Amino acid sequence: MAQENDMAAFTPFRPAAVILREKLADPDKLVLCPGVFDGFTARIALDAGFDTLYMTGAGTAASVLGQPDLAIVSLPEMAGNAGMIAGLDRNVPVIADADTGFGSSLAVARAVKLYSQLNVAALHIEDQAFIKRCGHLRNKALVSLDEYLVRIRAADRARKECGRDIVIIARTDSLQSLGLDEAIRRLKAAHAAGADVAFLEGLTTKDECRKAAQALAPIPCLLNIVGGGVTPAVDAAEAKALGFKIVLWPILSLTYAYVSVKKAFRELKDKGWTEPLPGGEGGIKDIFEVCGIDEAAAFDHAVGGSTLDGGFF
């Protein structure tokens, strides 16, 4: 049996951070990211054709631990989830939540080195106190600007020391309690300290979005659109017109998982069975295919394996 050993098919490794930086440098490109929380939702996003993904911290807390987004997820849990998602397709960069950096400057450095080792393209670090909460909840406690800049400088130094690039996104949650001017001041200071992208969380109006992006230019700005949150939902074209370079829809998959699974489980509980979906969509064949069973079979065949010989459906 012939085995394929064609080095012409070998694709040289390109770090995810390099790919993401190319997207950020393209003046015509808007980086639109669906929020994914596990391998399955990431596979669905890849199948839909997205070229950048966002690993949501809230979704990681909910899916990995069944807990709310209240600084309960540890660094190994968050990084492990981000690295697994980043490994599904090395050509699709993953932006990942890193909360407050998980502690002191040394913890921030450890997080940056670990994320970069896992080929995560970017991470964002916020200025909330260590016991943080979701950015679209009220009464968030903040650290001082000086303490926040220690986190950003630690991230930048760790990136340089480890010799692996990763895009550093500075997030501020200060708008709610300190106002727009202070939020902009914090992000400008974070950029001067080494951050690449500005992320002003909790913008409440389109006019506020526009003012923030204009004030922060030419720093690339990130817009976070959370279902049920305080930021207005805008489409990709409008987000770009407002001045943003990256747009996250962080809990989109979490929302649809909640709504759809809840409906199906209620139907099963009430009726003892569930109605098949139109056209049989979502059966085991669809699920295995989106998870890459055809690619797995092709790989096994190429190396002379017989694990998946004879078909599987």
- Please give the positions annotated as active site: 54, 69, 97, 99, 124, 126, 134, 171, 201, 224
Cβ–Cβ under 8 Å, residues 199 and 173:
no
Residues 6+ apart with CB under 8 A from 190: 148, 149, 152, 170, 172, 198
Closest-CA residue to 74 (of 60, 88, 90, 54): 60
AA letter at 113: K
Establish how many alpha carbons lie within 13 A of residue 204's alpha carbon, considering only the half-sphere containing its beta carbon: 9
Q: How would you write the pLDDT of the chain (313 residues) with one tens digit per residue?
A: 444 455 456 778 899 999 999 999 999 999 999 999 999 999 999 999 999 999 999 999 999 999 998 889 999 999 999 999 999 999 999 999 999 999 999 999 999 999 999 999 999 999 998 777 665 666 678 999 999 999 999 999 999 999 999 999 999 999 999 999 999 999 999 999 999 999 999 999 999 999 999 999 999 999 999 998 899 999 999 999 999 999 999 999 999 999 999 999 999 999 999 988 887 788 888 898 999 988 988 888 888 888 777 777 7
Q: Say which CATH architecture domain 13-252 belongs to.
A: Alpha-Beta Barrel (3.20)
> Which residues of the chain form CATH 3.20.20.60?
13-252
Longest C-alpha distance within the chain, in Å?
69
Q: Which pTM value belongs to this model?
A: 0.93
Q: pLDDT tens digits for 51-81?
A: 999 999 999 999 999 999 888 999 999 999 9
